[in-house]
């Protein structure tokens, strides 16, 4: 029988929940507010919260100085492309590990994850030389490939966890009905794992969107995504916080909107299998 929770406790938890939520969201809110201030108001002490003279001049300045749309399109192509390519490789890999494990499967999984433990800068020069020799520097294809590789371990791990929750008997039943391996993965496994695949997809798009090491180091003028757009507004000599905030807001807005609309899917996927 479910235990009834006293109203006061429930109120307390709700309040704490809201407080934690606000605390996490506050830096984003502050960035958005700062983007509407003048440079002078942005550094004012005490900081001004809502009652200042709102201005959109920072957005106008940012748009006149850089080509936002070009950077935005590069971000879309690179993040979506690398995630789809990653899924294409990871779904069969996760299937093999979840439904046809060997005694080395656990080791393979750990080894895959261990590739994330090396700091990216450690392989910058070799990758840079490879890209130079293959003509991939400053290309969307090159960046898509490198982000696919860097996010693949996470995609495989996430999918492996979701697939493990699916009873192997269902797949076996499909096999007994004469389904080939490809059909089993496409028509039986994938539809059942949609919440898991969707949350993996979304999380990896977010990771790729925010990736700021490879996207900054392997691009110049043509394939530079929104991370390079932001980097052109921060400055160690000069307080341009309002312009930087406007550039940051423009860069995070698309992914924030995507996250907002897909939050139900995201939460469902992330808690998939948590309660049996």
Q: Positive or negative, the Cα torsion across 239, 240, 241, 242? A: positive
Q: Are 216 and 15 in contact (CB under 8 A)?
A: no
The answer for residues whose C-beta is within 8 angstroms of residue 179's C-beta and 6 or more apart is 187, 188
Rounded CA-CA distance 39/59 in Å is 13
State yes or no: residue 66 binds other proteins (CB under 8 A).
yes
CB closer to other proteins out of 29 and 129: 129
Candidate residues 125, 176, 274, 275; the one interacting with other proteins per rule CB under 8 A: 125
State yes or no: residue 134 binds other proteins (CB under 8 A).
no
> From residue 153 to residue 182, what is the string marking binding to other proteins with x (rule CB under 8 A)?
------------------------------
State yes or no: residue 216 binds other proteins (CB under 8 A).
yes
Q: Are 99 and 168 in contact (CB under 8 A)?
A: yes
Min dist CB 206 to other proteins, Å, is 22
State yes or no: residue 239 binds other proteins (CB under 8 A).
yes
State yes or no: residue 224 binds other proteins (CB under 8 A).
yes
State yes or no: residue 56 binds other proteins (CB under 8 A).
no
Rounded CA-CA distance 252/30 in Å is 13
Element (H, E) at 216: helix 214-217
Candidate residues 138, 206, 254, 262; the one interacting with other proteins per rule CB under 8 A: 138
Neighbours of 42 (CB within 10 A): 22
The residues binding other proteins (CB under 8 A) are: 38-40, 43-45, 65-66, 124-125, 128-129, 132, 137-138, 216-217, 220-222, 224, 228, 231-239
């Amino acid at each position: 029988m479910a235990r009834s929770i006293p109203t006061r406790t429930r109120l307390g938890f709700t309040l704490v929940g809201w407080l934690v939520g606000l605390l996490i969201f506050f830096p984003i809110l502050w960035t958005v507010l700062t983007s509407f201030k003048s440079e002078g108001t942005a550094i004012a002490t005490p900081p001004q919260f809502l009652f200042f003279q709102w201005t959109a001049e920072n957005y106008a300045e940012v748009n006149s100085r850089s080509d936002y749309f070009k950077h935005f399109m590069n971000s879309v192509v690179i993040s979506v492309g690398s995630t789809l390519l990653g899924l294409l490789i990871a779904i069969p890999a996760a299937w093999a590990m979840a439904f046809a494990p060997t005694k080395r499967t656990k080791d393979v999984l750990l080894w895959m994850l261990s590739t994330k433990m090396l700091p990216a800068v450690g392989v910058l020069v070799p990758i840079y030389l490879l890209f130079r020799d293959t003509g991939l520097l400053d290309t969307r294809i090159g960046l898509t490939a490198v982000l696919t590789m860097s996010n693949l371990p996470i995609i495989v791990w996430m999918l492996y966890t979701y697939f493990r929750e699916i009873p192997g008997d269902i797949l076996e039943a499909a096999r007994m009905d004469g389904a080939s391996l490809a059909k089993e993965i496409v028509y039986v496994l994938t539809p059942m794992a949609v919440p898991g695949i969707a949350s993996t997809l979304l999380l990896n798009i977010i990771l790729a969107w925010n990736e700021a090491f490879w996207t900054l180091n392997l691009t110049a003028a043509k394939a530079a995504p929104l991370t390079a757009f932001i980097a052109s507004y921060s400055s160690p000599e000069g307080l341009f916080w309002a312009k930087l905030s406007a550039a940051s807001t423009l860069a995070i807005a698309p992914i924030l909107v995507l996250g907002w609309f897909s939050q139900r899917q995201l939460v469902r996927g992330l808690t998939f299998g948590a309660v049996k």
